[in-house]
Amino acid sequence: MYLEIDRLYLSGISESEEDVDFDNTNTDVIVVLNNGQKYIAAFFTIKNVEVINLQNEYEGRNLEGKYFWAKNMVLVARCDPESVEAVVKNLIEEGDFKEVFKRIF
């Protein structure tokens, strides 16, 4: 079955993108396929994970920043809408989309 994107939502990105640091952010990405099925994954930039780990180290969480995890996590260089869409399309093309994204109802 061929998967095709109908809509793509980035929960952590506001309508006015000028205040977003696309190199240091994270967002839930919701993909609606052309068959109506919806999927979700958590996208984090590399820099954002580094910042979170530093915060965890300082605040004593996650063994003082020694690990980080998130369900259905995708690690990306940038988290702008164009980059996210390219990653999602590549995951579909490579057959990995359903391994990374979780179906939601």
Q: Please, what is the end-to-end C-alpha distance for the chain in angstroms?
A: 19
Count of beta carbons in the 10 Å neighbourhood of residue 84? 23
CA 47, 7, 30 angle in degrees (round to 5)? 45
Residue range 34-61, pLDDT digits in tens: 999 999 999 999 999 999 999 999 999 9
Residue 85: closest CA among 27, 46, 36 = 27
Give residue 94's pLDDT: 96
Tokens coding 50: 């580094």
Work out the percent of the chain whose per-residue pLDDT is above 90.
88
Averaged confidence pLDDT in the chain: 94
Per-residue confidence (pLDDT) for residue 2, from 0 to 100: 81
Whether the predicted pLDDT of 97 surpasses 80: yes
Task: Provide the pLDDT confidence category of residue 15 given band limits of 50, 70 and 90.
Answer: low
